[in-house]
Every structure is written in C-alpha cells, then in structure tokens.
Structure 1
C-alpha cells in the first residue's frame, strides 16, 4: 500500500467539513409551501381549548386557528415543534411571556400556549427573528418588502391578534392565514383596514 504524503493528509483535512459547523439557514420558501399545503385541508376555524398530546400535539387538521398555520408549517417544512420549543422557553422564563398579564395564568400550558399569537410574537422576538414592530397603529398592508416565509402579525377588528405567513413577495404580496374560514391565501391589501403590528423573518 503506497504511503500517503503529509501534503495529501493536509488537503484531506482542509477539504473536510468542520466538526460542529452550523447548518445552513432554513429556506423561507419551504415554510411558505408548507403553509400553502394546508389550503383545502383546514376548512374551518375553532378557537376552543383542547387537551392535546405533547410534544407534536395538534387538533384535527381540518380545523384550527391562525397560529396553527405557523405551527403546522414549521413541523412540516422544518421538523420544528413550536409546541415543545415554546413550552420549554416558558418553563425557563414564564414571565417573559404575556400569559400571566393577559390571561391570568400561573404556569405554562402546553395545550394552548403555542396556539396564541401573543406567545408566538414573544418567542419569535426572543429568537432574534423580529425585523420591525410598530409602536403605533399602521395600516395592515404596510410592511417593508415581505419575503416568502416571513411571518406577519396584526390586530384585527380592534385588538384581536392575528398571524399569517407570506406566500409571495416582495411584489404582489400574498399571505396564507386562517381568519375564520379555514386556511386561505389572500392578497396583503385585504388587511389595509386592520393594524400591522410586527414583521418576522425566522430562519433558524
């Protein structure tokens, strides 16, 4: 067997990927496609409290709320379980979340915490995904260059939190969401009369 030169060994080491190298950022298009795939599957809206499994718990996919669009898309596209991630983060720092202030809760609840927009906003902000949050009311179609996979939040019909995933952008922006009639894809301009709150780009 011929001897391997020191130069060859060095070249092999340099060519090999570094141990523990960071994985590439997840693609926003994948999240957008997974959100779109829910159209025609989730045909209703139901905000009722349900006891569900943990982790990977869900209500029937034929129904759900706006937050479920993101939770399901993250699982389908990226194998990320927001139910588990948010629960674990709330166990670490419960008071960083609005559960006590808003709903009077005293501890995390894995059945519902990940299905609330206010908790998702908090988690995404803590993950460094926040691009912009409006300090005052802004028309609901005013977001700066949303890209596929970006997450947008609003306050609709007054102060009701709502969430959607950008399916197309930055031109002719369209959003996948469930505002009461199942998962649908609609143009961003339809939110003009509501209040834009925050714009997230979550790629981890």
Structure 2
C-alpha cells in the first residue's frame, strides 16, 4: 500500500517541477501593463526601450522568417489575414526601437552601403538588401559594434540593464536575440527578457538559460560607422 502511495505521489508530483519553473519564469499581461506604465515615461532610454519591448508581448503575432519586399525606410512585414504581426526575434528588436523613433532598417542599410565587405558574408549577396539585412541578427551585431555599443559578455545578471540587446547561441547552433527588461512586481530588480523564440514575443526569466553570445547597449546612432577589416 505504501509502495502504491509512494508511486502515486511520484507520478502526480513530477509534473509540478516544470509547472513551478514556468510560474517563476513567465509573467502575466496584467503585470506587463503595470510595468509598461512605470517605464514608458522614464528619462532613461533603456527603460523606455524595455517598455516598448513589453508592449510587443500584448500584440497577437505569428512567427515568420520569410523574405518580404518592404518599403524603405520604415518598412515592415505585412500583417497576416487575421491581423497578426508577422516576424521573428529580430523584428521584435526593430519594432521596439522604432517605437522610440530609431529605424534600424535605415541605419543598418546606410552602414552596409558604406562598409558592406566587413559585414558577415553568409548569404552569398553582392550588395546590401534593405528588405532583409536589418532582420538578420549577425548584421545587427556588426552594426551595434560599429556604433561602439558592444559590451562584455558575462553570466552576471547584474551586468545587464533594461533595454540591452542580448544575443544567444542556442543548442542548435542558431543565433537568437532579445531585449532585457525588468522582472514583474517584487522581482523588478531582476534581469528578465522579452524575446520571440517562435511562439510570439514572451516576457520570461531566461537570460542565462542559453549561452550568451553578444551584449549591446545601443541608444541611437552617435557617429558614422568606423570602417573595419573584420569579417
């Protein structure tokens, strides 16, 4: 009898582990509304950017990494027939910056037009493509580095501030990116992230769950990109 009871406790208790982990890692829309309201009027650029990123978590979205011909500047992917935003992780970053008047489509394109040879040559292109270049995390990394926005990569969460852009290397070998935002409620002092890993923008406590590959604090173009021989 004790054996059966012990098995039942193990069987039914086991799923509680990931359930509790999820409860600790994902915040509610109500908490997002509260934090957005607190961050939006901040004098700190990073906090306003974090607020813009949190707003994306409230918008219906559909993952879409396809190529689209879009307008320039200020171009964006077409909505789905249901009215959802299309996009991937990079689009979350782009839209959040646009909310603050910074158009990464234009900035990246202008920099690549001047310095195309030092950008990653991963897609067999012979010239910049303003439809897609800003939607590739490798190009965003290079642009941020040209602007002096690259910071040291550590696993100390205290080194990451609201509005920082983080790039991860996933177990698959793919790169992924997101925005650092505060945690909810009493956990506001923690470094959480807003990112889109394929199921729409999420606000989660997963900053160090993946291998951190890049760390950037970009607050707007300060100068022309410095030409570099790096690849």
TM bracket, shorter-chain basis: 0.7 to 0.9
Higher strand share: 1
- Contact 2:144/2:216, CA 8 A, preserved across alignment: yes
Q: Which runs of 5+ in 1 are unaligned?
A: 1-24, 135-140
Q: What's the CA shift for 1:144? A: 4.9
> TM-score if structure 1 supplies the norm length?
0.77
The answer to whether the 8 Å contact 2:157/2:191 transfers is no
Summarize deviations over 1:5-32 as a string: whole Å, max 9, x none.
xxxxxxxxxxxxxxxxxxxx96101110
Q: Alpha carbons of 1:143 and 1:124: their partners in 2 closer, same or farther (altered >3 Å)?
A: farther
Q: Which residue pairs with 1:153 in the alignment?
A: 167
The answer to which of 116-125 and 35-44 deviates more is 35-44
Higher helix share: 2
Given the alignment of the two structures, is residue 119 of structure 1 paired with residue 142 of structure 2, yes or no? Answer: no
Match of 1:74 among 97, 101, 114: 97
Runs of 4+ in 1 over 6 A off after TM superposition: none
Deviations 1:136-156 (A, max 9, x none): xxxxx5555211101110011
Instruction: Specify the SS of the correspondent of 1:44.
Output: strand
Deviation at 1:112, TM superposition (A): 0.4
1:166 is aligned to 180
- The change in CA–CA distance for 1:87 and 1:153 in structure 2 (over 3 A counts) is same
Structure 2 regions of 5+ residues with no counterpart?
1-42, 221-231
Matches within 5 A, 1:124-139: 124-133=144-153
Q: 1:52 aligns with which of 66, 70, 91?
A: 70
Per the alignment, residue 7 of structure 1 pairs with none
Give the CA deviation at 1:177. 0.7
